């Protein structure tokens, strides 16, 4: 079992330290990237203002998607493919910097 360590992450320009093991780190970083993108999408839509409101709307949207996936209304394979494509786009964007 790995030791729990603090991992520094950035979501919408705000820094956080999250505890996880080395095994959990890749999944955590994927989740951070996914959450950051979702929150930025909501912010960029211009319909929601304020980080707290953006976070709540993102949580609501993700909760809705999760609950629908449990009822079979969402294709998990499609979601995994979309997340993978987003991760590739993020990786490419980071390489350009």
Q: Which of 85 and 30 is assigned the larger pLDDT?
A: 30
- The confidence score (pLDDT) of residue 32 equals 94
- What tens digit of pLDDT does each residue of 54-76 get? 999 999 989 888 887 765 666 66
Plot region of 13 (φ>0 → left; ψ -120 to 50 → alpha; else → beta) = left
Q: What residues does each domain of the chain span?
A: 29-96
User: Furthest-apart CA pair in the chain: how many Å?
Assistant: 44
- The confidence score (pLDDT) of residue 17 equals 93
């Amino acid at each position: 079992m790995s030791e729990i360590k603090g991992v520094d992450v950035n979501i919408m320009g705000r820094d956080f330290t999250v505890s996880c093991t080395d095994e959990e780190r890749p999944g955590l970083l994927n989740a951070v990237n996914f959450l950051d993108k979702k929150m930025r999408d909501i912010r960029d839509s211009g319909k929601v203002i304020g980080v707290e409101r953006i976070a709540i709307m993102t949580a609501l949207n993700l909760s809705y998607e999760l609950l629908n996936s449990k009822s079979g209304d969402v294709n998990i394979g499609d979601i995994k493919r979309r997340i993978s494509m987003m991760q590739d786009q993020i990786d490419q964007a980071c390489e350009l910097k």
